[in-house]
Amino acid sequence: MRLKNKVALITGASSGIGRETALLFAQEGAQVVAVDLDDEGGAETIALVRAGGGVVTYVHADVSNAAHCEGMVQTAEETYGHLDVLFNNAGIMHSEDDDAVHTSEDVWDLTMAINAKGVFLGCKFGIPALRRAGGGSVINTASFVAQLGAATPQIAYTASKGAVLSLTRELAIVHARENIRVNALCPGPLHTELLMKLLDTDAKKQRRLVHIPVGRFGQAKEMAHAALYLASDESSYVTGATFNVDGGITAAYVTPE
């Protein structure tokens, strides 16, 4: 088992990448702390993990709230004794996120609070726990749009993921000598409920698919396997990395005629 005896905290664990990662990490021997605001989805994740024989604890937390982030880390240490892996995965893509002219200040602030501040707060309280454990791995979910920009305007989301990428690089440098690795997972467009709700017509879907060399949306389970590598000791020499798992989109991003 690649994560035997490790404790992993995963935010955004009620669906998508977070749920698939909780399932996979548990299968690989980790004791999992699943964090989310969606308690119904969280209960489903917990049930699925336990049905597979995994060990998991659920924490209701808003990642944009400092007290909640401190509490989720405290729960991990109190329940399992230490923390080895911090996966700052929670994020939103607001349906009213548009270009700079049409995006409201409220949408901007909410997106930044969850996607960027949430990663900052996770690290603020999680990194001291990793330090107490003698080291560990931080994985921050960014996006391919942090490097390229999106074909469909989503200015707050794109900016927030750019912040995650920059934050990841700096933390990797700051904590490298403490045996704490910090890497950014950059998914391409995924077949998740979140994205499919936004791409609600075939025309919108094709506008995205035309950019992806492999010709399909990614699956949350594929991102979970990438996160597993970054969480495991197999990636012990990997820090400050931008880990693109995107079907080739960042290698060949073109605008169709």
The residues assigned a catalytic role are 157
Count of CB atoms situated within 10 Å of the CB of 105? 8
Sheet with 136-141, edge to edge strand ranges = 55-60, 31-36, 7-11, 85-88, 136-141, 180-187, 242-245
Residue found under tokens 């336990």: 50
Residues 169-189: b if buried by 16+ CB within 10 A, e if exposed: bebbeebeeeebbbbbbbbbb
Give me the amino acid identity at 1: M
Alpha-carbon distance 98 to 77, whole Å? 40
> Is there a contact between 51 and 27 (Cβ–Cβ < 8 Å)?
no
Structure tokens at 154: 């989503």
Q: How far is CA 15 from the centre of its chain?
A: 11
Q: Give the start-end residues of each E strand in 49-96.
A: 55-60, 85-88
> Is there a contact between 56 and 25 (Cβ–Cβ < 8 Å)?
no
Q: Find, among 176, 79, 168, 164, the residue nearest to 136 by Cα.
A: 176
Structure tokens at 59: 């924490």
DSSP state letter for 94: -
Alpha-carbon distance 191 to 178, whole Å? 37
